Amino acid sequence: MEKPTKGEQTRATILDAALQIASKLGLEGLTIGSLAEATSMSKSGLFAHFGSREDLQLAVLEHAAQRYGERVFLPALKIERGLPRLRALFGHWLDWTLSSGLPGGCIMISAAAEYDDRPGPIRDAVIANQHRGNAISQKAVRLAIDEGHLKADTDPEQIAFEMLGIVLASHNHRRLLGDKEARKRSLLAFDQLIARHAAPRKTLKAVSR
């Protein structure tokens, strides 16, 4: 039950093309017609794989979430827990949003802006994805506290919030303004954020209050 069906292969090909379109024009800019042309298929052929445009959009989101897992989350898991892993997570995240191999920008970031006022299943999926990513960031921060790398009173939610801000600013500066320094600025901002919460040296397990 491991062999990919012909249909599954086609579906994967379609999703890759859809992801490319969505990265440039956003999920709202992804139309059945444009996807049909990109895949050299008929519109009804696409409907055989995805019952509706909304289903397609949801599948594209899930496809992107899976890529995030492969490129950001899993590689970070292989790094020793604590500050090293947190740093790896941030670095991979930054690379993912700036150069994911797609022709356009990060689909999660554009979708967040597109659907913050469009109620429905897609918005719900975007929110769920953000919560997943947020939980991953917070977990990495918490481990860094447990390892004694960050001060015990560090607030994981606040750090995750600021990490998101740096990534968003970076995406904006790089992709919209063409700022080549964006990545450097982001790493500097992250380093200073961490330095601000770093535990005094030689402290192993931070003292609980």
Enumerate binding residues for a copy of itself (CB under 8 A). 23-26, 28-29, 103-105, 109-110, 112-118, 123, 126-127, 130-131, 157-158, 161-162, 164-170, 172-173, 175-177, 181-182, 185, 188-189, 192, 196
Closest separation in Å from C-beta 59 to DNA: 12
Answer for the pair 45, 36: CB distance below 8 angstroms, yes or no: yes
CA nearest 166: which of 139, 187, 150? 187
Closest separation in Å from C-beta 32 to DNA: 4
Select 45 or 101, whichever has its Cβ closest to DNA.
Answer: 45
Q: Which of residues 139-168 bind DNA (CB under 7 A)?
A: none
Query: From the list a copy of itself, DNA, none, which binds 16 (C-beta under 5 to 8 Å, kind-based)?
Result: none
What is the CA 17 to chain-centroid distance, rounded?
Answer: 19
Query: From the list a copy of itself, DNA, none, which binds 6 (C-beta under 5 to 8 Å, kind-based)?
Result: DNA
Q: Contacting DNA (CB under 7 A), which of 1, 2, 6, 177?
A: 6
For residue 55, the one-letter residue type is D
Answer for the pair 89, 159: CB distance below 8 angstroms, yes or no: no
Query: From the list DNA, a copy of itself, none, which binds 185 (C-beta under 5 to 8 Å, kind-based)?
Result: a copy of itself
Select 5 or 192, whichever has its Cβ closest to DNA.
Answer: 5
Q: Taking CB under 7 A as the rule, does residue 31 contact DNA? A: yes
Collapse the DSSP code of 34 into the 3-class scheme (helix H, G, I; strand E, B; otherwise coil) and give the result. helix
Query: From the list DNA, a copy of itself, none, which binds 31 (C-beta under 5 to 8 Å, kind-based)?
Result: DNA
Collapse the DSSP code of 105 into the 3-class scheme (helix H, G, I; strand E, B; otherwise coil) and give the result. coil
The residue to which tokens 């492969």 are assigned? 70
Main-chain dihedrals φ then ψ at residue 39, nearest 5 degrees: -100, 0
Neighbours of 158 (CB within 10 A): 13
CA nearest 124: which of 136, 115, 113, 132? 115
Residues that bind DNA (CB under 7 A): 6-7, 10, 30-34, 40-45, 47-49, 51-54
